[in-house]
């Protein structure tokens, strides 16, 4: 708040006027990435960032085909809504989009999820090619938040990224949900999977509530785009936004929020699994840092989704002054994603309330 108000009182303008703040922030942000990712463009929303990534991928590859997961959400522009099957059949995916199941170790067969995910991506690419559509990109949310939250197994993204690159496409990691330390293992969700994307989209936590978002990419992708196309975004990367973005990075570092996410998150997962010993409806608990999914089922053998019980629990928690959402195609996964300052005490409060609300089912 101090960074925002201080800069707002000095100057706010768009990026046609040169200012130092955008350079300082861009350098600091890029230092958080693997060395291959050396270029950034700022936007105001995650949807704009993903829309720009879409254009970059098409321009860099000459392709138009995209592969996404079956219940993905990547944003609300016309192009990106057509890459967001979770919006439902009235929106519909584009004829150039192919959907693959997210790697779901809880419901999948015994096959290794990474091998299976890569072979699904390969099949989608083959289908695009068979229809005369050249592949442009594989686009995934690196924690599969809307598909039901699948942080594991570690390494699951790498073979799929290889598959799209072999077909001439690029790999885009959507870090709008998983980015900025939430997974408790470095800054980015893709970092847990030991893969370097060609393009990364950022948003949400980037401004801690202030609308700043962006695209980070390999420099050749951005320079190729820059030579052929223009991109201008009036409120993207303003002096105020860049000061705010910088303050967010300062606080993540100063308060060791990545460590906090890892430590509190893993204790919370333990506590939630403990609740599973007493409440049969808990089918699976999975998480990375402070991004945790609790999948609720009517029967642990058939794994039939407990959709109504999930809604009841969300409301039971709300009555106990705790806000959580639900996610997944069957809306039967509690999405526990608290602020990164979440303390051990806060976690205990949540566990007690959840125990209580579960007993009420």
Ligand X SMILES: Cc1ncc(COP(=O)(O)O)c(C=O)c1O
What the block records as the tokens of 177 is 């949900």
Taking a C-beta distance cutoff of 8 angstroms, is the pair 111, 103 a contact? Answer: no
Question: Least Å distance between CB 356 and ligand X?
Answer: 30
* Residue from 148, 166, 84, 163 nearest 116 by CA: 163
Cβ proximity to ligand X, 75 vs 169, nearer residue: 75
Contacts 24+ apart (CB under 8 A), 219-227: 219/38, 219/39, 220/60, 221/39, 221/56, 221/60, 221/170, 222/39, 222/41, 222/56, 223/39, 224/59, 224/60, 225/55, 225/56, 225/59, 225/60
Question: Least Å distance between CB 342 and ligand X?
Answer: 19
* Residue from 227, 224, 223, 221 nearest 200 by CA: 221
Nearest to ligand X by Cβ — which residue?
46
Question: Least Å distance between CB 191 and ligand X?
Answer: 16
Question: Least Å distance between CB 328 and ligand X?
Answer: 14
What are the residues binding ligand X (CB under 6 A)? 45-47, 50, 73-75, 141, 145, 174, 176-177, 203, 213
Question: Least Å distance between CB 271 and ligand X?
Answer: 26
Cβ proximity to ligand X, 22 vs 176, nearer residue: 176
Cβ proximity to ligand X, 97 vs 177, nearer residue: 177
Cβ proximity to ligand X, 145 vs 242, nearer residue: 145
- What 3-state class would DSSP assign to 202? strand
Which backbone phi and psi does 296 adopt, to 5 degrees? -105, 135
Question: Least Å distance between CB 303 and ligand X?
Answer: 25
What is the radius of gyration, based on Cα positions, of the chain?
21
* Residue from 201, 248, 193 nearest 25 by CA: 248
């Amino acid at each position: 708040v101090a960074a925002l108000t201080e800069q707002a009182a000095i100057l706010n303008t768009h990026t046609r006027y040169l200012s130092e703040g955008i350079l300082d922030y861009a350098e600091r942000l890029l230092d958080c990435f693997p060395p291959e990712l050396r270029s950034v463009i700022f936007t105001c929303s995650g949807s704009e960032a993903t829309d720009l990534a879409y254009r970059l991928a098409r321009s860099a590859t000459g392709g138009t085909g995209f592969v996404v997961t079956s219940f993905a959400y990547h944003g609300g522009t016309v192009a990106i809504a057509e890459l967001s099957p979770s919006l439902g059949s009235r929106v519909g995916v584009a004829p150039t989009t192919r959907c693959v199941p997210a790697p779901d170790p809880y419901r999948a067969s015994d096959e290794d999820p990474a091998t299976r995910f890569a072979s699904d991506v390969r099949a989608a690419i083959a289908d695009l090619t068979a229809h005369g559509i050249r592949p442009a990109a594989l686009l995934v949310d690196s924690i599969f938040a809307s598909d039901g939250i699948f942080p594991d197994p570690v390494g699951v993204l790498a073979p799929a990224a290889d598959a799209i690159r072999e077909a001439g496409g690029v790999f885009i990691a959507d870090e709008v949900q998983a980015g900025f330390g939430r997974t408790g293992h470095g800054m980015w969700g893709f970092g847990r999977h030991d893969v370097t994307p060609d393009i990364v989209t950022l948003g949400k936590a980037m401004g801690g509530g202030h609308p700043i978002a962006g695209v980070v990419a390999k420099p050749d992708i951005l320079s190729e785009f820059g030579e052929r196309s223009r991109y201008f975004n009036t409120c993207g990367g303003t002096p105020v936004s860049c000061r705010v973005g910088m303050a967010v990075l300062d606080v993540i570092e100063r308060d060791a929020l990545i460590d906090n996410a890892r430590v509190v998150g893993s204790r919370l997962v333990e506590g939630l699994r403990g609740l599973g010993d007493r409440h049969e409806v808990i089918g699976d608990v999975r998480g990375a840092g402070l991004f945790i999914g609790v999948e609720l089922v009517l029967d642990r053998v058939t794994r039939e989704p407990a959709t109504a019980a999930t809604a009841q629990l969300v409301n039971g928690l709300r009555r106990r002054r705790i806000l959580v959402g639900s996610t997944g195609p069957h809306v039967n996964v509690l999405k526990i994603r608290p602020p990164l300052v979440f303390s051990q005490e806060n976690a205990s409060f949540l566990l007690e309330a959840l125990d209580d609300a579960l007993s009420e089912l």
